[in-house]
Amino acid sequence: MIAEVAAKHGFGYLFERHRLLRAGVRRRRPGVPVDATRGRHIREMLDELGPTFVKFGQLLSTRPDVVPPDIVQELVLLQDRVSPVPFLEIRQVIEQELGLRLEQAFAHFEETPLASASIGQVHAAVLPGGDRVVVKVQRPGAARQIRRDVDLLLQLAELLEHRVDWGFSLVGLVQEFSRAINRELDYLLEARNAERLGQNFAASTSVTIPRVYWHYSTSRLLTLERLEGPTLNLPELAALDPARKKVLAETIADCWFQQILHDGFFHADPHPANIVYLGEGRIGLLDFGNAAVVRKEDLQEGVTLFLRVMDSDIAGIKRSLRRLGVSWPPSVEEAVTQSIEDGFSRYFGVSLASVDVRSLLQQTFDLIYSLHLRLPTRFLLLDKALVTLEGVIRQLYPDLNLFERARRYARELRYQRLDPQRWAERMERDLAAYAYVLRDFPMQLHDLLEEMRSGELEIRYRHTGLEEMIHRLDLITNRLVVALLSIALGVTGAAVAILVDKGPHILGLSAWGLPGFLLSLFFGLWLIYAIIRSGRL
């Protein structure tokens, strides 16, 4: 099915080139300019394949380190467009999860959903005590369908992994998607994310996190306090006067910078539909399935990275990038150094106070993406959240300097670097790590020496990138065999035609040599056609 839809949208050539198609779907749709509009065709293909593939495309849109920019721009347009599940099925899920009849669990339950997506849909309800809530219900069979689709994706990734040079692990990407979508299937994890954010903003008067009703929540059912107000994607927000828009934009910016730079735990999907306007510059947050952690060590190393940029310390910049989890092979070491010099030269020697932090941060991500360096997933979510946040602020109040709001948090991080207590904590962590390594080292060395003495030491060599060369050698060998066969048939036919005297003759040559000539001609023409068709004449 995947191959057929891919062929329909102009990508059959990929499967055909790597011998992955069955005979029935070998031709791609004529007239599809794959190279010119590949992003749009990929988006349409994923949309047609269904909800799981749409979510996979949404994940790919957050990976500019492995996906070209033109494709990323199209993939961000993917949205869950799923018809609602009949209410009878939703009712069955609720009653199975709670062990109660719907009328016993809720004083009122709206049959028409507020929203419907690929994994679940949301209904408004009222609890017996009068609390107004929203109930997120997982679609029946969603987990089974998603696991089946992920298995298909994994099989396809394993087929393509060593046949095409992707520049990254396709299987690893699918496995990352599998982990992400399985987290979304667990509503209890989303509930814990909401509760953690609620604790972080418990003292805030401007940010509200809906309360979790744990007695009405399971792994397939999530009940949250209902926040009354329009989300930022609704027309009501356009009517606000500029002063209120500015206050609202400042609240949103402060909310996310507190999460990222102070709490170290942030809502990773701040798009307008997930932010509710509660009036007077107050906001509420929705949809906590996507959340991520920023380690304190990462924040401190980030500040160190920026300071090393100011000091023109190229070697120090590379050390900071490695400590942040950015990795690259030795073969691109010189390219990394050159890119750092070219990209960061405008900041060398200036003070941190005069730096456009947004520009410097974006320059860092651009450098990583341009060189296809490996970046930890938590930073990809951070980049996506910051880009989305900047878009929301720009649409709401374009004159607000988003990263100017972050300076007080950045100053706090700089002061923390000089705090003796922080130094002591870091030293304690480092000593504990070294002690752990030193404790295991003697036994590891002993095991290694024992294996060497017993002759059981194995050194495994894993080659990569040779599959295409082997495939080409197979083609060359096959063509040589066909060429030799054609020549042999031609020579044999000529010898028979000349040397045989008996039997019918044509133009003085024996007719018995004719089959050899015809077969030689057939194989010769077939060989020429195959060479021309491959484009390697």
Structure tokens that stand for 117 in this block: 């997506």
Distance linking the first and last C-alpha atoms of the chain: 34
Other CB atoms within 10 A of residue 31 CB:
6
**Residues 6+ positions from 520 with CB-CB distance below 8 Å:** 486, 487, 489, 490, 493
Q: List the structure tokens of 255.
A: 């909310």
Place of tokens 């520009």: 359
Tell me, rounded to whole angstroms, the distance of Cα 167 from its chain centroid. Answer: 14
**H helices within 21-141, ranges in order?**
38-49, 51-60, 69-75, 87-98, 102-105
Strand, helix or coil at 123? strand
Catalytic residue among 269, 287, 298, 383: 269
d(CA 376, CA 325): 6
SS3 label, residue 506? strand
- For 208, 255, 425, the CA distances from 280, given in Å and listed in that order, are 13, 15, 41
Active site residue 269: yes
Q: Tell me the backbone φ, ψ of residue 221, rounded to 5 degrees.
A: -145, 130
Residues 6+ apart with CB under 8 A from 403: 356, 357, 358, 361
Report the interhelical angle of 314-323 vs 333-344 (nearest 10°). 110
- The runs of H, that is alpha helices, within 65-163 are 69-75, 87-98, 102-105, 142-161
What is the rounded distance in angstroms from the CA atom of residue 409 to the CA atom of residue 283?
A: 21
What letter would DSSP give residue 230?
-
Q: Please report the sign of the dihedral spanned by the C-alpha atoms of residue 436, residue 437, residue 441, residue 442.
A: negative
- Residue 126 and residue 149: Cα distance in Å, rounded? 36
Supply the Cα-derived Rg of the chain in whole angstroms.
31
The strand pair at 108-109 and 120-126 is best described as antiparallel
Contacts of 485 (CB under 8 A, 6+ apart): 523
User: For the CA atoms of 492, 495, 496, 502, what is the dihedral angle to 10 degrees?
Assistant: -170
Q: H or E element: which one contains 138?
A: strand 132-138
What's the one-letter identity of residue 220? R
Residues belonging to the active site = 269
